[in-house]
Amino acid sequence: MKTDSEREKFTAEIKEKALDAGATLVGIVSANAIDSLQPIWVGWTIREYTKKTTDLMPDAKSVIVIGYHIWDDVLEIALKKDDDWVYPCYSPVWDIPLRIRHHLETKGYKAVLTGSLSKKRLAQLAGFGAYGKNALIINPKFGPWIRLGSLVTNAELVPDQPFEQDLCGECDNCLKVCPAGALTPYKVDDSKCLVRVHLSGSAEEIDKNKCLLKRFEPSLTQNAHLMCMECQKVCKYGKRT
């Protein structure tokens, strides 16, 4: 068992490693804090209920959370390779935790990636920002332009304070601007969101979605297009300069 001073020193070391690896934000959440919350359904590519850290690692103690700033629109590109899609903006949030895991292992600890935990819940608990009406984490400096990664470890680290401030207030610009009508306050319908929408349904629905995709997800090449960013661009935090 490490002393408080040793835990603080090792936590600072882990955070420094994360920042050196390219993370914009890094925070710590205790395994007990995230495990105390009720499971929630996560859509998109995961499409399952969240698990507990102990489902991933029986002796889990901490979750290390990283945020990566998407500083330019071109990072919101989607690339098609055969029948699969590749999203370059998510590569750092997988690579950086792998590098942190390697460092932990050199110190005798275990660590696993956390695809089955809620990254947004973790980010709020780690102090990154508020869960916004656009169903994204909004950081006071970077706004919704951050992507999230995390890993569970049996290292006992010093947790950060949760972010408690409401950043949205009465603002509902993101709800109004969503071209697909996929947003209601603090919730996104991933079956409607243009980032995930598939050209299926009635002929009328397909034609409508084709028009929306052409306007809000412009093609760059035959195999590449930008993802819709309307709800991010209208946010008053993290405005593009």
Listed residue (199, 209, 204, 128) closest to 163, CA to CA: 128
Residue 185, token pair as written in the block: 């306050």
pLDDT digits (tens, 9 = 90+) for 157-199: 999 999 999 999 999 999 999 999 999 999 999 888 988 765 5
Bridge-partner residues for 62, per DSSP?
30, 153
Cβ proximity of 54 and 35 under 8 Å: yes
φ, ψ at 60 (rounded to 5°): -60, 140
Q: Is residue 112 one of the residues assigned to a domain?
A: yes
User: What CATH number is associated with residue 146?
Assistant: 3.40.109
The percentage of the chain sitting over the pLDDT mark of 90, rounded to a whole number, equals 76
Q: What per-residue confidence (pLDDT) applies to 210? A: 83
Q: Is residue 100 one of the residues assigned to a domain?
A: yes
Tokens 């105390």 belong to residue: 36
Distance, CA of 7 to CA of 5 (rounded, Å): 5
Q: Is residue 126 one of the residues assigned to a domain?
A: yes
Q: What per-residue confidence (pLDDT) applies to 115? A: 80
Listed residue (40, 163, 19) closest to 100, CA to CA: 19
Q: Is residue 32 one of the residues assigned to a domain?
A: yes
Distance, CA of 181 to CA of 187 (rounded, Å): 11
Tokens 């195999």 belong to residue: 223
Distance, CA of 176 to CA of 197 (rounded, Å): 19
CA angle, residues 224, 227, 229, in degrees to nearest 5: 150
Q: What per-residue confidence (pLDDT) applies to 2? A: 81
Q: Is residue 227 one of the residues assigned to a domain?
A: no
Domain range enclosing 148: 4-72+89-153
Q: Is residue 15 one of the residues assigned to a domain?
A: yes
Q: What is the DSSP letter of 216?
A: H
Q: Comparing 238 with 207, which gets the higher pLDDT? A: 238
Q: What's the half-sphere exposure (Cβ side, CA atoms, 13 Å) at 126? A: 28
Q: Is residue 191 one of the residues assigned to a domain?
A: no
Distance, CA of 26 to CA of 150 (rounded, Å): 9
Q: What per-residue confidence (pLDDT) applies to 160? A: 98
Listed residue (71, 92, 88, 85) closest to 145, CA to CA: 71
CA angle, residues 9, 65, 166, in degrees to nearest 5: 110
Q: Comparing 64 with 213, which gets the higher pLDDT? A: 64
42 — pLDDT class (breaks 50, 70, 90) = confident
147 — pLDDT class (breaks 50, 70, 90) = very high
pLDDT mean across residues, the chain: 92
Strand 183-184, strand 111-113: pairing? unpaired
- The number of folded domains in the chain is 1
**Per-residue pLDDT for 202 more than 80?**
no
Tokens 């656009």 belong to residue: 134
Cβ proximity of 144 and 236 under 8 Å: no
55 CB contacts (<8 Å, ≥6 apart)? 116
Radius of gyration in angstroms for the set of CA atoms belonging to the chain, rounded to a whole number: 19
Listed residue (97, 134, 86) closest to 21, CA to CA: 97
pLDDT digits (tens, 9 = 90+) for 76-125: 999 988 888 888 888 999 999 999 999 999 999 999 998 889 999 999 99
Q: What per-residue confidence (pLDDT) applies to 146? A: 97
Residue 202, token pair as written in the block: 């009635």
**Per-residue pLDDT for 18 more than 60?**
yes
Q: Is residue 207 one of the residues assigned to a domain?
A: no
